[in-house]
Amino acid sequence: MITRRGLLEAAGGALAFGGGAALTAPARGAESTNSSLPSLSPLLPAGTRAEAVLDTLPGKKPLIKLTYRPPNYESPLAYLRTAITPNGEFFVRYHLADIPEVDAGTWKLNIGGEGANGNLQIGLDDLKKLPAFEVVAVCQCAGNRRGLFEPHVPGVQWGPGAMGCARWKGARLKDVLDLVGLKKEALEVVFDGADGPVLDKTPDFVKSLPVWKAIEETTLVAYEMNGEPLPHWNGFPARIVAPGWTATYWVKHVISITAVTRPFDGFWMKTAYRIPVGKFPLVARFISQETAANTPITEIVVNSLITNPADGARVKAGRKTAISGIAWDGGYGIRSVEISADNGKSWTEASLGEDPGKFAFRPWSYEYIPKWRGKLLLAARAANKIGQIQTQELIPNPPGYNNNVAQTVALHVT
Ligand SMILES: Nc1nc2c(c(=O)[nH]1)N[C@H]1C(S)=C(S)[C@@H](COP(=O)(O)O)O[C@H]1N2
Ligand SMILES: [Mo]
């Protein structure tokens, strides 16, 4: 059994664990006995993921393992204190368990489809010959914070760490499509990765984007992440990067890119990753995939996270306490982060830190002097430049997506 001290050290990278040890998910707001230790399952309802353990995938630092087949590994909060998430600390999410180690020398990307003027197969060298572009962008699973849904919804019980922000480098998807040329009638662009289902009954993971999003200047076929080749677990040798949109479209180990003239109707478009129409204030629409009842999830909702101090931490009355975190949205840019110490009655603005770009994590900080001893609840909420603001109440939806409820940490003032 690894102690909470051990977990803290693992989170800081001081220790590496071969196997895993059970992580206890402290009840929401529970005061910990040694509250200088950050929780690795912060804010989750008690017992939500009793099976979660810290585990080290090859090439990664210890991550919170939620499932092994397929691999679903969350970044601990301690890895999310900076605008850029290092590759070794970046979360890992797969739907399918058959994940080949792709060989860069033999990897081929097929480009074509009935919505294109021709077909072509290119290798990694060819891809790298196209003009290279970089974008700093948040890759966030639509189901990030699903484990915080009350009432509980089924699915991987993610805490707040099913996301990361990296500097992605690659060719523009538009330039890749221009190699064959799109027909006027092209409606969507479809992506398939090299991974596949172990059992035939699981549908292959294939996604599509509307043409307008596919040819946006910032949408890339990326082969580098933070200045290095993509790690295997994050899509080596190339993946789609669709800044502003949830990571379900960021197909890893991409092997085929095809243009189609009719809505792509695979399971992962038609059935999964859909949200009720009209419930979320989304601007970006995927009209060819909309039905009267639901729409594919598109852009990332405005959100923020308090990364320091951790929930349950002990702070001193009358002393300046540094509060810090990150804020992000679907690419409109963060306008403000506000802090409330009175259950949302009043809010004061935090200072925004470095701005690595409108698709990136925006660090923020705030100094607070706790006045009274006892329990202190501090909440943070972000607003973006088009006036969207984090919600105070969860917007229920069956698959547990888009949780952007303003987060509260409970501090123990002594
Ligand atoms: N090939 C492939 N690409 C994929 C997936 C997958 O299962 N297979 N999952 C998608 C989902 S749902 C998410 S959240 C992101 C996760 O990216 P990461 O593992 O690099 O963190 O990958 C996306 N790309
Ligand atoms: Mo996801």
Count helices and strands (H / E) in the chain. Answer: 5, 25
Does 254 lie in the same domain as 130? yes
Does 387 lie in the same domain as 277? no
pLDDT number for residue 146: 97
CB-count exposure of residue 251 (10 Å: 0-12, 13-18, 19+): buried
3-class SS at 125?
helix
User: Which residue has its alpha carbon closest to ligand 1 atom 10?
Assistant: 248
CA distance 81 to 327: 11
Does 370 lie in the same domain as 318? yes
Question: 154 lies in a domain?
Answer: no
Question: 102 lies in a domain?
Answer: no
| pLDDT tens track, the chain, 414 positions | 333 333 333 333 322 333 333 333 333 333 333 333 334 555 677 667 777 889 999 999 999 999 999 999 999 999 999 999 999 999 999 999 999 999 999 999 999 999 999 999 999 999 999 999 999 999 999 999 999 999 999 999 999 999 999 999 999 999 999 999 999 999 999 999 999 988 878 899 999 999 999 999 999 999 999 999 999 999 999 999 999 999 999 999 999 999 999 999 999 999 999 999 999 998 999 999 999 999 999 999 999 999 999 999 999 999 999 999 999 999 999 999 999 999 999 999 999 999 999 999 999 999 999 999 999 999 999 999 999 999 999 999 999 999 999 999 999 999
Does 347 lie in the same domain as 253? no
Q: Ligand 2 centroid to 312 CA: how many Å?
A: 29
215-225 burial string, b = 16+ CB within 10 Å, else e?
Answer: bbebbbbbbbb
For the CA of 194, the nearest atom of ligand 1? 1
Identify the residue whose tokens are 């960021």: 250
Does 219 lie in the same domain as 340? no
- Note whether 273 and 295 are within 8 A (CB): no
β-pairing, 188-193 vs 206-210, is antiparallel
CA distance 50 to 308: 24
Which residue type, as a one-letter code, is found at position 338? Answer: E
pLDDT tens by residue, 166-215: 999 999 999 999 999 999 999 999 999 999 988 878 899 999 999 999 99
Does 292 lie in the same domain as 307? no
For the CA of 193, the nearest atom of ligand 1? 1
Last residue of a domain, one of 280, 296, 312: 296
Q: Ligand 1 centroid to 331 CA: how many Å?
A: 20
Does 369 lie in the same domain as 222? no
For the CA of 70, the nearest atom of ligand 1? 7
Does 396 lie in the same domain as 280? no
For residue 254, give the nearest of 124, 129, 69 by alpha carbon: 124
Q: Ligand 1 centroid to 94 CA: how many Å?
A: 5
3-class SS at 299?
strand
Question: 153 lies in a domain?
Answer: no
For the CA of 164, the nearest atom of ligand 1? 21
Q: Ligand 1 centroid to 206 CA: how many Å?
A: 11
- In this structure, the chain runs to a length of 414
pLDDT number for residue 200: 75
pLDDT number for residue 41: 58
Whole domain around residue 396: which residue ranges?
303-413
CATH number of the domain to which 223 belongs: 3.90.420.10
Does 194 lie in the same domain as 133? yes
CATH number of the domain to which 307 belongs: 2.60.40.650
Does 263 lie in the same domain as 127? yes
User: Which residue has its alpha carbon closest to ligand 1 atom 24?
Assistant: 251
Does 406 lie in the same domain as 310? yes
Question: 144 lies in a domain?
Answer: no
pLDDT number for residue 44: 77
CA of 251, nearest ligand number: 1
CA of 93, nearest ligand number: 1
- Note whether 84 and 226 are within 8 A (CB): yes
Q: Ligand 2 centroid to 103 CA: how many Å?
A: 25
User: Which residue has its alpha carbon closest to ligand 1 atom 15?
Assistant: 247
Last residue of a domain, one of 268, 296, 324: 296
Q: Ligand 2 centroid to 141 CA: how many Å?
A: 4
Last residue of a domain, one of 251, 277, 296: 296
Does 252 lie in the same domain as 112? yes
Question: 127 lies in a domain?
Answer: yes
Q: Looking at the 3D structure of the chain, how many domains does it have?
A: 2
Which residues are near ligand 1 (CB < 6 Å)?
90-96, 139, 141, 193, 195, 205, 234-235, 247-248, 250-253
